[in-house]
Structure 1
Amino acid sequence: MMKHVIALDVSKGKSSVVIYDRYRQCEFEGELNHTRIDFERLHERIEEITKSDGQVPHIVFEATGVYSKSVEAFFKNHGYTYSRMNPLEANLQMAKMRRHKTDCSDAHELAKTHFK
């Protein structure tokens, strides 16, 4: 059973991040600047979730070319498994549920579609 999902909507220099628990409830919503300190905080949060759940959270983000390179490098360097969605696929899945467009709402929709 999937426990936590971390979804990122990546843009230039920063990402909107949401964390959902196994009940599909949002536990955290915030911004991740693509800096060493913010990536370190995300790493700590992933480790806390892994410890409490007994499994690594599912991680999903939309491939946004050059903007998502640092995010992907962070996950690779720490050995995390992630789903990098192609933007067309992500947009098609999210269009089914779309209400209004913001980076933060995109992160929420990515998380919700990942449970399916």
Structure 2
Amino acid sequence: MKHVIALDVSKGKSTFAIYDRYKQCELEGELTHTRIDFERLHHRIEEMTVLDKQAPEIVFEATGIYSKPLEKFLATKGHTYCRMNPLEANLQMAKMRRHKTDISDAHELAKTHFSMAREATY
């Protein structure tokens, strides 16, 4: 399996966790919904694509208008992503969640993505 980038989207920013194919966290952090941070994310996605010889899987919960800038960026750059229904994501992560924070949600989305068959959003 390839890398997984999971994002917990909120107003004006996203908290992210990047996992490698061995289900180990490589990087976590926060990105603001600005052109500069989106370009940094795009550059990292390109690096992972070259490294793995395939694009990473990107997953996040749909959060209404808050996730629109992220979706527009991904669509504009031609990245495939999985936009999840929040209820479905909460049900999938309920077994694993210990403490609800933005960063823990990003980690849990990434971990569950390895075991769930999720459809890509276009």
Which residue is 1:11 aligned to? 10
Distance 1:28 1:35 in 2: 20
Which residue is 1:45 aligned to? 44
Distance 2:99 2:43 in 1: 31
Distance 1:51 1:16 in 2: 24
Which residue is 2:21 aligned to? 22
Which residue is 1:69 aligned to? 68
Q: State, as a whole percentage, how many aligned pairs show the same letter.
A: 78
Which residue is 2:91 aligned to? 92
Q: Which runs of 5+ in 2 are unaligned?
A: 116-122
Give deviations 1:37-96, integer Å, cap 9, x for gaps: 000000000000000100000000000000000000011001111000000000000101
Distance 2:97 2:33 in 1: 27
Deviation at 1:11, TM superposition (A): 0.2
Deviation at 1:112, TM superposition (A): 0.5
**Correspondence 1:29-40 to 2 at 5 A:** 29-40=28-39
Q: TM-score scaled by structure 1?
A: 0.98
Which residue is 1:114 aligned to? 113
Q: Output the aligned Cα RMSD.
A: 0.4
The residue type paired with residue 85 of structure 1 is: M
Aligned length: 115
Q: Which runs of 5+ in 1 are unaligned?
A: none
Q: TM-score scaled by structure 2?
A: 0.93
Distance 1:113 1:67 in 2: 22
Give the SS at the match of 1:77: helix
